[in-house]
Chains A and B, each alone.
Chain A
Amino acid sequence: MCTGIVENTRVSGSGKGPRGWFPLDQASVSFDHPDHAQAERAVIIDLPNRTAGPESRIAIELTPESARDLVRAILASLSRGEGTGPGTRNESAH
């Protein structure tokens, strides 16, 4: 862990890994060396499957720019889906 940058947060939902769906309760977000992405540093998101071994995690490695794009997309979908922003489901229904 050369950077030591990790943010852990509790989450609630489900993930699909190599052994099928499993409940999610934690996400670890790091800024460190990726194993596969072609970048020196990446935003690494690990979603562990606590009911199975470490190989059952869901892993994502994103370039910093694409990580920001993903954050924006998540927030935009929340905003629209929960009716709190422009172009929301409620607005378009009228």
Chain B
Amino acid sequence: MQTYRTDMYEGMIAETVTVSGHDDTAINAYFARPLGQGPFPGVVLIHHAPGWDEWYRETTRRFAHHGYLAISPNIYQQFGHGVPEDVAAKVRAVGGVADDDVLGDVIGSMGYLKSLPQSNGKVGIFGTCSGGRQVYLVACRAKGFDAAVDCWGGRVVMSQQELTPKYPVAPIDYTKDLSCPLLGLFGEEDQFPSPQQVAQNEQELKKYGKTYEFHMYPKAGHGFFYYNRPGYRQEQAVDGWNKIWDFFEKYLGPSDNH
């Protein structure tokens, strides 16, 4: 990443766009990109259980600020519109959004990024919480991503009792099909996923010889990036973000072509 100097020009555009999601339905997505011709790498952000909220739009702009074409699809759109936390409550009550639908929405978003003239052809995927789980799932079931970042995704490891028609297969059971390098960031005080589940996930990645980096942060629980929640951990969050920038730069190419 290019170090910012006070004499540099900087600019971005951020807006709501429409992409083709699952079953070719049109869904809203928040898209942010640096101004300039690029070429820029891209990132699809999968929002967390609290919904397609302000933190995700901020984070989408953050990726653009760091030189990425960034897009965050509203994977809850099929449940209607409203204040994000109210829509999220509706989704929670019906047991979540189906894995197949998320897959379609994220693949559509990837296609949107790759179609842009400023794209360098590389696209990563990022998600936190339930979005982290979905990152793992999509990175296994879809082709075309070049790097994946799973932040504290719960229920990558699932018991038989947790499987439902919406979640018919535990993401860990797709590990042999993981199609790109994976970065995982976790807190050792988290219970969803627990450190034991993360260790089980790591064993599976080793078993299939996958390229991955897992980092388990002490004194951190779930969601330690969320500055607006009591679980925020400054030191771990700063380090985690630096690991993300390094990881994406390694696998998606430089993001400094402003």
> Are B222 and A33 closer than 8 Å at their CB atoms?
yes
A68 to B155, CA, bound (A): 26
User: Would you give the shortest CB distance from B137 to chain A, in whole angstroms?
Assistant: 14
How many residues of chain B have a CB within 8 Å of chain A? 34
For A2, A32, A35, A48, the residue with the greatest tally of chain B CB atoms inside 10 Å of its CB is A2
How many residues of chain A have a CB within 8 Å of chain B? 24
Q: Does B221 contact A (CB under 8 A)?
A: yes
Q: Does A25 contact B (CB under 8 A)?
A: no
> Are B154 and A55 closer than 8 Å at their CB atoms?
no
**Cross-chain contact of A2 among B80, B87, B192 (Cβ < 8 A):** B192
Binds B, one of A37-45, A70-78, A86-94: A37-45
Q: Which residues of chain B are near A13, meaning CB under 8 Å?
A: none
User: Would you give the shortest CB distance from B57 to chain A, in whole angstroms?
Assistant: 16
A3 to B159, CA, bound (A): 12
**Cross-chain contact of B92 among A26, A30, A53, A55 (Cβ < 8 A):** A30
A28 to B92, CA, bound (A): 8
Q: Does A54 contact B (CB under 8 A)?
A: yes
For chain B, residues 64 to 95, give those with C-beta under 8 angstroms from any C-beta of chain A.
80, 82-83, 85-93, 95
For chain B, residues 86 to 114, give those with C-beta under 8 angstroms from any C-beta of chain A.
86-93, 95-96
Given contacts A1-B95, A40-B230, 4 further A-B contacts (CB under 8 A): A2-B48, A4-B155, A33-B223, A53-B86
User: Would you give the shortest CB distance from A36 to chain B, in whole angstroms?
Assistant: 8
> Are A59 and B130 closer than 8 Å at their CB atoms?
no
> Are B91 and A1 closer than 8 Å at their CB atoms?
yes
> Are B49 and A33 closer than 8 Å at their CB atoms?
yes
A46 and B95 in contact (CB under 8 A), knowing A4-B162, A54-B80?
no
> Are B93 and A33 closer than 8 Å at their CB atoms?
no
**Cross-chain contact of A8 among B49, B90, B93, B191 (Cβ < 8 A):** B93
5 tightest Cβ-Cβ pairs between the two chains A and B: A2-B154, A28-B93, A54-B86, A54-B82, A1-B96
User: Would you give the shortest CB distance from A4 to chain B, in whole angstroms?
Assistant: 6
> Are A1 and B90 closer than 8 Å at their CB atoms?
no
A-B contact pairs, 10 of them (CB 8 A): A1-B96, A4-B155, A30-B92, A33-B48, A33-B222, A40-B222, A40-B229, A41-B191, A53-B86, A55-B82
